């Protein structure tokens, strides 16, 4: 779904005055809010929005130079792009399971006749991918208030996940699962308010498996028979009140059954992250 920003403008143009050098200069801002919700049981959905440079600004020789973003609710940003004449953003809401999923993004764009003099930020460093193999955690070292993340499946050639993270240097794979045996690139770029992103830094890894002792049978491969509760037999009352013992058919009198979690092997295969 694509919505042009000039159709949903919620706030009027606000003038911000400042002084640069010895001459007076001013910047103008516009603020727009994009709001979405999903009913219970609805699958995840993405929306694209675009805000075009106001004609009045273009007539004065102004263009977009900065942006500020504010997220609320469960909404996430998948990608964004700030150009002199437009701002593009793609937002997403996760699947609504038990409750309505909703959120909004507030975008404030600043226009001026001169581009910012600040340099583009350096590339991020210290990329780390850890945690559960199919739903990893990511971390990096950077100074940007805005960080664009991508997850490329090198095995299939598909970009399987992307997010723009605000004000943090950590993130979780919050949607979907990675595939065991596949190789991936985790990419990071950072930017400041000017929306000019640094060069991308990448970290390669694969999702492998390791064998661990089964936590249900503690490596024995067996568990207590659920039919006879480990007794191996059943006791009933026969003639003259004498006890009658009947062998449990589920465990053949052993009192134990093959562990259904590890299928009797005593270990399980757990997905892990292996750096490459």
**2-112: CATH number:** 2.60.40
Q: Do the domains 2-112 and 125-210 sit in the same CATH topology, yes or no?
A: yes
Q: Note the pLDDT of residue 170.
A: 97
Max CA-CA distance within the chain? 114
Query: What is the DSSP-derived secondary structure letter of residue 179?
Result: P
Lowest mean pLDDT among 25-34, 177-186, 255-264: 25-34
What DSSP element (H or E) covers 4? strand 2-4
pLDDT higher than threshold 90 for residue 191: yes
Lowest mean pLDDT among 22-36, 203-217, 238-252: 22-36
Higher pLDDT, 250 or 91: 91
Give pTM, 2 decimals. Answer: 0.80
Q: Note the pLDDT of residue 20.
A: 38
Q: Whole-angstrom Cα distance, residue 35 to residue 224? A: 54
In the chain, the N- to C-terminal Cα span, in Å, equals 38
Higher pLDDT, 188 or 3: 188
CATH code matching the domain that covers 213-268, chosen among 3.40.50, 1.10.10, 2.40.160, 2.10.230? 2.10.230
Higher pLDDT, 144 or 265: 265
pLDDT higher than threshold 80 for residue 16: no
The rounded percent of the chain whose pLDDT value lies above 70 is 91
Q: Note the pLDDT of residue 4.
A: 44
Q: CB-based burial of residue 49 (10 Å sphere; 0-12 exposed, 13-18 middle, 19+ buried)?
A: buried
Q: Note the pLDDT of residue 26.
A: 61
pLDDT digits (tens, 9 = 90+) for 70-80: 999 999 999 99
Domain boundaries, the chain: 2-112, 125-210, 213-268
Those residues with Cβ within 8 angstroms of residue 220's Cβ, 6 or more apart along the chain or in another chain: 259, 266
Based on its alpha-carbon atoms, the radius of gyration of the chain, rounded to whole angstroms, reads 29
At 202, phi and psi to the nearest 5?
Answer: -125, 150
Higher pLDDT, 224 or 19: 224
The pair of three-digit structure tokens given for residue 5, joined into one six-digit string = 């920003």
Could you say which architecture CATH assigns to the domain 125-210?
Sandwich (2.60)
pLDDT digits (tens, 9 = 90+) for 38-80: 999 899 999 999 999 999 999 999 999 999 999 999 999 999 9
pLDDT higher than threshold 80 for residue 155: yes
């Amino acid at each position: 779904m694509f919505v042009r920003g000039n159709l949903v403008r919620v706030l009027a143009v606000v003038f911000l005055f400042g002084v640069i050098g010895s001459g007076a200069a001013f910047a103008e801002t516009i603020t727009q809010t994009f709001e979405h919700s999903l009913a219970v049981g609805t699958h995840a959905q993405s929306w694209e929005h675009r805000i075009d440079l106001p004609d009045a600004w273009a007539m004065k020789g102004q263009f977009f130079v900065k942006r500020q973003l504010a997220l609320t609710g469960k909404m996430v940003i998948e990608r964004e792009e700030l150009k002199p004449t437009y701002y593009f953003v793609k937002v997403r809401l996760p699947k609504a399971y038990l409750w309505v999923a909703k959120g909004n993004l507030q975008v404030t764009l600043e226009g001026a006749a001169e581009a910012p003099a600040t340099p583009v930020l350096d590339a991020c460093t210290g990329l780390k991918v850890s945690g559960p193999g199919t739903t990893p955690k990511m971390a990096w070292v950077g100074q940007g208030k805005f960080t664009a993340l991508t997850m490329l499946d090198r095995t299939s050639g598909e970009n399987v996940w992307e997010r723009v993270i605000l004000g943090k240097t950590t993130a979780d794979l919050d949607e979907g699962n990675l595939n065991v045996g596949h190789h991936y690139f985790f990419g990071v770029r950072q930017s400041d308010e000017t929306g000019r992103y640094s060069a991308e830094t990448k970290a390669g890894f694969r999702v492998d498996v390791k064998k661990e002792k089964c936590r249900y049978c503690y490596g024995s491969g067996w568990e207590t028979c659920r039919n006879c509760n480990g007794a191996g037999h059943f006791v009933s009352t026969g003639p003259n009140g004498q006890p009658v013992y009947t062998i449990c058919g589920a465990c053949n009198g052993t009192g134990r059954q093959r562990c259904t979690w590890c299928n009797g092997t005593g270990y399980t295969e757990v997905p892990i992250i292996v750096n490459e």
